[in-house]
Amino acid sequence: MAKQSHVWVIDDDRSIRWVLEKALERGGISVRTFASADGARDLLERERPDVIVTDIRMPGGASGRLGTGTRGDLRAQCAQRAGQTGE
């Protein structure tokens, strides 16, 4: 049995979050949505999604706020995982 993918969608626009959530769920993907990077960053201390989809032009700069300070540098961990798996 294949492992279900877990995707987090971070966007300040409710309609974008809704559309992405519905489309991903129809594809059998587990989705969690956030209106800001802060909620996702707090949860990253306890959980790791397979993919994070974020609006990089959100007020507060989601990509920069998620990138550091959570069990080390998230960007470095993702790059390391991609190198290990070839993805």
Q: How far apart are CA 17 and CA 23, in angstroms?
A: 10
CATH code of residue 26 = 3.40.50.2300
pLDDT at 26: 95
The distance of Cα 70 from the centroid of its chain, to the nearest Å, equals 13
* Per-residue pLDDT tens over the stretch 8-67: 999 999 999 999 999 999 999 999 999 988 888 888 888 889 998 888 777 665 555 565
State the total domains in the chain. 1
pTM more than 0.85: no
12, with CB counted inside 10 A (0-12, 13-18, 19+), is middle
Whether 1 is covered by a domain: the verdict is no
Cβ neighbour number for residue 54 with a 10 Å cutoff: 18
Beta-strand ranges (E) seen in the chain are: 6-10, 30-34, 51-54
The whole-number pLDDT of residue 67 equals: 55
